[in-house]
């Protein structure tokens, strides 16, 4: 298949569209494509087109949109992954994998045992970085949707938003085996999918007892098997388990 590029301005066949700088550089410098090359572009909101490179300079690329093409289908249930920010570049992997698995959005959260503050995340422009990773992962996995990376929020700000959400969505907080007597195995949930869902995953050091109690009060608290899973795979395991139960696989 032709190389795929992200072009948020792409709307309809016949348009001439400039690629964003990162994408233009990928086209011209990495893949060394020029005028007349056949490519694919997707707009990050579900539309994908055949396209032809119309003009390039060292840092710019314009493409002419051709017919719409099918991209990898989106899951029927829009699942947001609310993930406690992990150490180092582990959060990068979580973003990349969640996009690949079909997550609809990613909500970074800062919990008691998260080793970075909301202010530090903002100062370090981590959200911009995660957005670039989401675009890159969408390019690789074949999606035409780039999941939204939300602003990082503190757990105390986040948890009050959950109870109202449960009226229309399936909201699941994953905890370690034995962390809460109220926790039920994922397999014991009814498997009828809501239109929307959210899964909430803690940091390396786990949830505090207070956070688990707040989760129990606000949403459904579930376990994934009876072994202790590492925080950096919990998101991908949770997405896989839900999509399997809901016959997306």
User: Interface with a second copy by CB under 8 A: which residues?
Assistant: 72-73, 75, 96-97, 100-102, 140-143, 177, 185-187, 223-230, 233, 236-237, 240-241, 243-245, 247-249
Minimum distance from residue 31 beta carbon to a second copy (Å): 18
Q: How far apart are CA 122 and CA 139, in angstroms?
A: 26
Q: Which is nearer to a second copy, 17 or 41 (CB)?
A: 41
Distance between alpha carbon 126 and the CA centroid of its chain, in Å?
14
Q: Which is nearer to a second copy, 212 or 237 (CB)?
A: 237
Minimum distance from residue 72 beta carbon to a second copy (Å): 5
Q: Phi/psi of residue 75, each to 5°?
A: -60, 150
Query: Parallel, antiparallel, or unpaired: how do β-strands 48-56 and 61-69 relate?
Result: antiparallel
Distance between alpha carbon 63 and the CA centroid of its chain, in Å?
27
Reported as half-sphere exposure (CB side, CA atoms, 13 A), residue 197 has a value of 21
Q: Distances from the Cα of 174 to the Cαs of 69, 132, 199, 239, in angstroms?
A: 37, 27, 7, 11
Minimum distance from residue 183 beta carbon to a second copy (Å): 12
Minimum distance from residue 54 beta carbon to a second copy (Å): 28
Q: Which is nearer to a second copy, 157 or 191 (CB)?
A: 191
Q: Which is nearer to a second copy, 40 or 96 (CB)?
A: 96
């Amino acid at each position: 298949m032709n190389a795929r590029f992200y072009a948020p301005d792409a709307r309809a066949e016949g348009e001439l569209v400039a690629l964003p700088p990162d994408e233009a550089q990928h086209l011209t410098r990495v893949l060394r494509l020029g005028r007349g090359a056949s490519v694919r572009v997707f707009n990050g909101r579900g539309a994908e087109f055949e396209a032809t490179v119309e003009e390039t300079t060292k840092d710019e690329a314009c493409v002419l949109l051709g017919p719409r093409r099918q991209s990898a289908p989106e899951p029927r249930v829009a699942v947001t992954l609310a993930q406690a920010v992990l150490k180092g570049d582990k959060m990068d992997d979580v973003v990349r994998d969640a996009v690949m698995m079909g997550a609809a959005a990613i909500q970074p959260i800062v919990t008691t045992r998260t080793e970075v503050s909301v202010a530090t995340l903002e100062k370090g422009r981590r959200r911009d970085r995660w957005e670039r990773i989401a675009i890159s992962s969408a390019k690789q996995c074949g999606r035409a949707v780039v999941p939204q990376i939300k602003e990082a929020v503190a757990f105390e700000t986040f948890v009050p938003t959950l109870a109202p959400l449960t009226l229309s969505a399936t909201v699941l907080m994953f905890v370690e085996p034995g962390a809460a007597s109220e926790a039920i195995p994922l397999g014991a949930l009814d498997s009828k999918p809501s239109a929307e869902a959210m899964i909430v995953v803690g940091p390396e050091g786990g949830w505090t007892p207070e956070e688990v109690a707040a989760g129990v009060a606000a949403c459904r608290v579930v376990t994934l098997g009876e072994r202790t899973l590492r925080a950096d795979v919990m998101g991908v395991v949770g997405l896989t388990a839900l999509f399997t139960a809901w016959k997306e696989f």
